[in-house]
Structure 1
């Protein structure tokens, strides 16, 4: 191992070359399973920034049905705004402390199906992983039966054997009895011995199998075709080896066309519901045009050729009489790079030294661009979403792109912790459960534990590496379990942990299980020691590690899920090889700057305090 000392700028260049992945605006970029009814609430504020005909600041407000609400980028429940990681919307009513991403609706109230059930519009606590509803009660179908009807009432019966089934509100052994109707008008049923006349089994003729193509709505009138031919829509047949079938989508009438190469026939192709000769016509976006030599490309519905002078296709729009030097921007705008620059949807005249920031330009020497919003550049300024702030001041906290004023929240910087974009309450009243790319906040409950982004009852569910498994029997949750390393945002790692320990940085290449342990292969790995001596001298101690670098976590099941391709910081307990914290750098645009600025501020403050003593 070679130890080198390098200046801070060079160190930052080397470490920031590590791949950090982020996807602004995507709440669930790793495809985690979330509730199906959450998709309707991803819609944010209007893109034109207008709310009831008035323009508003999207960095501070959300517009819901023409009503302006405090808070940026929130979802709407009627004219009310909410954070879908903290609340749910059912029938226009908000339920707090239940995330829309994991909830379902029970009438106008939301509930967590993992730990609860909705039975006749009543929310009940699960007693078994596979509990089901029986009216307003729960039952376990392995040991119980739900008998009766909705009109007469349902009741739960303990199964007398594995062969017992329901007969009305009674149960019977289907090996010795059957369920008979004893009063047809009232539909009453009773168990009877198998030798009873009502138990005679009547054969019910099976309906004929559905014809091929019935799902298209044409099977009932499909023609009877000769051997070797197949139906083509309504009333036509075709030979699949020599002909092509085209069906009119409105009338379902079919027509066959030859596509062999014998004299008198041409090779046909389809253009929507039409069949054409490619030697004579060209099909562009289901529109037929006469073929012209050299015009073999399509721009929308118009054919054109590369050799055509003054023609340029941008985003399926054909521009004619275009002067030399013009080209298409990635967004499909026509511009001249020697004179113009494209910022968002605007084509602007180049201003030397300026760069794009959203729809306008900025000068990086004097301004900073945060998610398309321009701010004046000040000392130690960083971005948090679309806002700029000084992370070293200790007065502001950035949680996944949402900026909080800690003085307004009446919290100290080191006490404030994030759960995704939410600032957690002080104390142990809330629990943050994290999976790659998704953090959800739950009210802390005894006997519950995190499993990825879910918060299940540990007596009903076990968890291994973020995957839930139902327990066959209720489990005693009082047994002490040694927790694995916690996956925390970089901002939630305490400054003393970062600045007084050797931290490991690396990109995960692959993960596997070996003897119940988590085996990890990393690339671009290095140890960094950011202590007072190096930091005050604007230098850092770096140990480059051979690639690949291997790390083993002692317990696979209790270790957080790691995503190959993501870069992480690993923090060890002093005088030990045990890793206590892991931080995902995916949501941090400048992690090394965050570390150095925090440590430098800490060391300067302590140095100043010592001189004042």
Structure 2
């Protein structure tokens, strides 16, 4: 049925309002006008997130802005957090990336807070550390016990170390493994020094445990090695990924090596650095052998990374060198100490060696 002119007027008015509202939004995108203070626009009762639309249209509200997933944010006023496993992202407003760190998808002020097992906690002291889900003052307290059953103790003295969920005095006592249980014994005890050692502040049994980043973990095999704070069987598994985000993979074959958090076959593939990301490519690819190399079982980018004692570390400078498992800037720093206990020091002058 044909519509009369009077019937068409409401429809034309509705279309006109929509066009005006949509044109206003497009103009704000083009000019980058105060998007931070007008993050959301309501158009005919439909709410649109300008920041998401901006990232979708591949341009940003102003200089210095970045995309966090599909959301635009200003790193001076907000922080972007990313989950390395799911690739989910989230923006925490009101916290500059200069002072923040991420705890899962939530950012926090790392000067006053810390992240323990994905929980943000207030720091009890400047040098506070995590003890499972709690925080403790390392100068006055100790975190003792096995990984799954730790407890916080008041430190008796600077000479005290953990022995299971208790503490002992290094000057007069030893922590000994007796019948698969750690016991405190006099320093003259015949058991001392046989199978126990100290990991951070905790004694452990070297026959069936490892010390990984000052954490005692059980050995999954006799040839077990550390992968961050975990242990893995080197014959059957691989420790892959950057230092701050490692994962343990089941080894596909003896010819497989790490490529980021994945693995590739040395016989048929290579690991290439493509747009600052390691990608697995066919061995015939033109990128093979240009910038990537293998460090132990892990591929790395030779332009900005080093292989230090079979560990991939970021270069702090173009002339960086290895100091044990760490890298240092030879112009500004020095690597000092015996082989088993190296330390990186700030160089006082070019005359210091």
Normalising by structure 2, we get a TM-score of 0.37
Larger radius of gyration: 1
Say which structure, 1 or 2, has more relative contact order (CA 8 Å, 6+ apart): 1
Higher share of residues assigned strand: 2
